[in-house]
């Protein structure tokens, strides 16, 4: 049986890891890279060390598609602890203020939570990797500085109260990229007049990757030893299935494999949802007539122009 570390040069994709509390996303990537013998490994969508749940780990050519996966929406289960405000907006920080929660009713919790559904503005927390003036905010926070930062537009697709136990409120959240769940928790606590912070966070889903099909690092080690890890990889084509497809003949596919622009006249057909975005600069998958993913291209600024090849995802000789 061929060891995956030897065969991984032709096994590319996305591995769904169930990250455990206490390790960083970088720690997970380093362990998988070491396990696979130095193969390229990355991740899409960092989880804080205390958070658990789905971490998309990109294997081989999977590292080339990270920028296209950030558009995936995410689902979380978070516990908001009311009555305590911390400097980090989560349980790892120092408590800044405590208030009695007794005056907060279940009706008030549901009413306030409802205000945060839909398109909202959110100010990134000081303890985050967002850069202002080229300096990550968390570095300024550690130096005792508070930096003015602009609010960002995010979308909270789903926000439900799953349970209320004492001062702890369990929330189910489906949100767009760029959402800070701990800031959402802190903002809800503030709106309720008692403050709050995120006690725990579990990421349940990232795009099509769900926690039900996620593997812990220990399970990855076991499946690798059995030679079965390749079966757990999501293909690049499936990971990119939200992008439309253009189909080209083999001669054109060979040119695309070498990075040549794709003239509109060489496109045999378009595939994908009719209502999918097809504007200028929109990324699309380029398939050959056998259905193989050859590359990712970007639609031209003007109708009838050539598609620019951004990422070649197949060997020049196959």
Q: Which residues are catalytic?
A: 48
Written as six digits, the tokens of 207 are 């795009």
- Distance CA(182)–CA(199), nearest Å, equals 9
* Phi, psi dihedral angles at 305 (to 5 degrees): -80, 180
The number of beta carbons lying within 10 Å of the beta carbon of residue 108 is 14
What one-character-per-residue DSSP string does 274-287 give? TTS--STT-EEEEE
Strand order from edge to edge, sheet including 308-312: 269-271, 245-247, 283-287, 293-298, 308-312
Sequence-distant (≥ 6) Cβ neighbours of residue 283 within 8 angstroms: 68, 243, 296, 297, 298, 299, 310
């Amino acid at each position: 049986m061929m060891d995956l570390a030897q065969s991984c040069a032709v096994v590319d994709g996305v591995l769904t890891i169930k990250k455990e509390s206490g390790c960083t996303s970088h720690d997970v990537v380093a362990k998988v890279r070491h396990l696979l013998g130095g193969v390229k490994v990355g991740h899409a969508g960092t989880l804080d060390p205390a958070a658990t749940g789905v971490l998309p780990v990109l294997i081989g050519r999977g590292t080339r598609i990270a920028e296209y996966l950030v558009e995936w929406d995410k689902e979380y289960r978070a516990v908001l602890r009311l009555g305590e405000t911390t400097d980090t907006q989560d349980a790892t920080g120092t408590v800044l203020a405590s208030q009695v929660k007794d005056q907060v009713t279940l009706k008030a919790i549901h009413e306030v939570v409802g205000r945060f559904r839909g398109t909202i503005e959110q100010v990134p927390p000081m303890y985050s990797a967002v850069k202002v003036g080229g300096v990550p905010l968390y570095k300024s926070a550690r130096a005792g500085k508070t930096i003015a930062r602009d609010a960002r537009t995010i979308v909270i697709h789903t926000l439900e109260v799953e349970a209320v136990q004492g001062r702890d409120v369990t929330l189910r959240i489906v949100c767009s990229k760029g959402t800070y769940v701990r800031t959402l928790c802190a903002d809800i606590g503030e709106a309720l007049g008692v403050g709050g912070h995120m006690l725990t966070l579990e990421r349940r889903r990232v795009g099509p990757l769900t926690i039900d099909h996620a593997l812990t690092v220990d399970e990855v080690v076991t499946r690798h030893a059995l030679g079965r890890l390749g079966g757990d990889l999501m293909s690049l084509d499936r990971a990119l299935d939200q992008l439309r497809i253009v189909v080209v003949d083999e001669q054109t596919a060979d040119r695309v494999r070498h990075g040549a622009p794709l003239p509109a006249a060489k496109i045999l057909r378009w595939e994908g949802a009719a209502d999918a975005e097809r504007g200028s600069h929109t990324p699309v998958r380029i398939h050959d007539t056998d259905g193989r993913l050859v590359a990712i291209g970007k639609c031209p600024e003007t109708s009838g122009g050539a598609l620019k090849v951004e990422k070649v995802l197949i060997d020049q000789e196959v």
